[in-house]
Structure 1
Amino acid sequence: MIHFPVLRTRRLTVRMRELAMIDAIALAAIPPHLNEEATTAFLRSAVDDVQGVENPEDWTVQERTMAVCHYMASTLDDGPDFSLAGGKANFSDYLLGEQDYPSEHVEVGTIEGDRWEARHLTGALAGAIERLQGELPGVSGHAHWRIGRMAAQLIVNGDAVPSAGDVDAALIERMRVIANYPESAFVQLLDAFEAARHELDHLFLLEADEHGLMALPREDSAAEKPPARFPVGSCITELARYLGGKPAAAGP
């Protein structure tokens, strides 16, 4: 039985447990492009107790990444500061341990007569972006994630995409609206959003490419490091992957 230290952040106190084999097999069966779905399934199985925000889908994507990395730090062979990117980097190159959850919302500004705010990206919202890939004609990959994050995180005149209920329907409708803005208005909104959302950074600097979310290295990292992902598939054994019908894991 593996011992996990208690994970404490500003909003969460989390006690974790080792995955049961049946949960690891189920995790291995999730298609590899559904990273957020796999992360939610992993957290529901690996979290033994949580004080604070109970539902992992309501955690920020940074808090979710922190919990996954906490599990990796206790289970991977190279210890708490585990290696990444084929040994080119370590966990500590990405962790903003001194920077935790800031305010709930930040001001974006007034654009085209509307008042805009930005909020955190949660697991529920990130999962919806992931599921909606290909639903907006002509938009895919990196563009899908960029517009999806804008739709999910931006609040216009107090109106936000709900984080419960039919999130997918609400999010795709907001994505359509934003994607159909005139180009000048879209660029202005995007620039303001990018500036504002960095005020919400905590624990990790998370960006997105065509494959989904990824962590950027700390700005004070000693040398240039590549972006990193922390796939939950790295948390399960090769036997679980085999029984779940998957090839060997590539590692974080």
Structure 2
Amino acid sequence: MIEFRPLRTKRLALTLQEIAIGDAISLASIPPTMYESQTSRFLSSIIAQAEAATPAHVTDPRAMTVQERAFIVAHYMAHVSESAPDFFIGDGRFSNYLVGQQQNVVPTFPAGSVGGDEWALVPLVGAAAEAIEELHGDISNKHGEKITGEYHWMLGCMASQLRKTDDAPPDPVTDMEYGDWLRARMHVIDRYPESDFVQLLVMYREAVRATRHFFNVDINDDGIVFLEEVAKEAVATLPPARFPASSCLSDFALRMGGKTPAVSQ
């Protein structure tokens, strides 16, 4: 049995446990396209204890930010990987992607003004990322064409995280209506004038950068990814990374779940 060091951050006070073989095999059977759902299942399986040490602490994996969730998976990987603790990620290592000691999660950040509206940014939590994932390929533009890939994730993240002063969205963690709300919000943003949308996107990216914690977040066709941490003005040389739960599983569990052995990407 593997013993894990306690994980303590500004909002997390966790004790992890090794995943049970049955849970590992079940997890391995989840399609890789359901990355966020797989992450939630994995975290629920490996968190033995989650303390609410302060009112700011979170205990539900679906209420944690996508950066916090990735950090927990990476903490597990650092204990099980052959190249631990600074394990390999392609040609790089975990430390190439980690943003120093920055752990602060900003609940609401004043992002700026676009289209006559004042906007604020809230963190992207696991439940919201799952909702975006579940809607992939299920939303059409006004011409009836399916919205997929990077643009779908871009719309979803912007719709989830950007708030106007009069917004009253449902809670993605507890409210079953969140998916319907998100779908409607994505349709609204898809119909923005092009110039307003570009301004909104620039503002969104700047706000995400200003509120970064643990990792630099970006978006591609597959969903949420993390960028190499580089000095100001420097150019990243490593590709975007993810921390798939499947990278934490044994070859046996992957084979029993119908998968081939995987590595972090």
TM-score, structure 2 normalization:
0.90
From 241, 249, 252, give the equivalent of 1:228: 241
Aligned to 1:188: 199
SS in 2 for 1:33: helix
The 2-side partners of 1:62 and 1:97 are apart by 13
Q: Percent identity?
A: 40
Aligned to 2:120: 117
Question: Which string of whole-angstrom CA distances, capped at 9 and with x for unpartnered residues, describes residues 197-228 of structure 1?
Answer: 21110000111100111110011389722211
Residue type of the alignment partner of 1:142: E
The 1-side partners of 2:11 and 2:137 are apart by 34
Task: Name stretches of at least 5 consecutive residues in structure 2 with no aligned partner.
Answer: 52-56
Residue type of the alignment partner of 2:133: E
Aligned to 1:143: 151
Counterpart contact for 1:217–1:226, Cα < 8 Å: yes
The 2-side partners of 1:97 and 1:223 are apart by 16
The 2-side partners of 1:11 and 1:242 are apart by 36
C-alpha displacement of 1:101: 1.8
Aligned to 2:76: 71
Counterpart contact for 2:251–2:261, Cα < 8 Å: yes
Question: Which string of whole-angstrom CA distances, capped at 9 and with x for unpartnered residues, describes residues 49-98 of structure 1?
Answer: 1122011000000000000000000011111000111xx10000011131
Counterpart contact for 2:16–2:46, Cα < 8 Å: yes
The 1-side partners of 2:208 and 2:84 are apart by 32
Counterpart contact for 2:106–2:123, Cα < 8 Å: no
The 2-side partners of 1:134 and 1:72 are apart by 31
Task: Name stretches of at least 5 consecutive residues in structure 1 with no aligned partner.
Answer: none
The 2-side partners of 1:91 and 1:124 are apart by 25
C-alpha displacement of 1:110: 2.5
Residue type of the alignment partner of 1:218: E
Counterpart contact for 2:229–2:236, Cα < 8 Å: no
Residue type of the alignment partner of 1:84: I
Question: Which string of whole-angstrom CA distances, capped at 9 and with x for unpartnered residues, describes residues 83-125 of structure 1?
Answer: 111xx10000011131112421111223222221111000011
Count of residue pairs brought into register by the alignment: 250
The 2-side partners of 1:132 and 1:173 are apart by 11
Aligned to 2:129: 126
From 221, 224, 227, give the equivalent of 1:216: 227
C-alpha displacement of 1:160: 4.9
User: Once superposed, what is the RMSD of the aligned Cα atoms?
Assistant: 1.6
C-alpha displacement of 1:12: 0.7
Counterpart contact for 1:151–1:161, Cα < 8 Å: no
SS in 2 for 1:116: strand
Residue type of the alignment partner of 2:182: L
TM-score, structure 1 normalization:
0.94
More displaced 10-residue stretch of structure 1: 121-130 or 219-228 = 219-228
Counterpart contact for 1:154–1:160, Cα < 8 Å: no
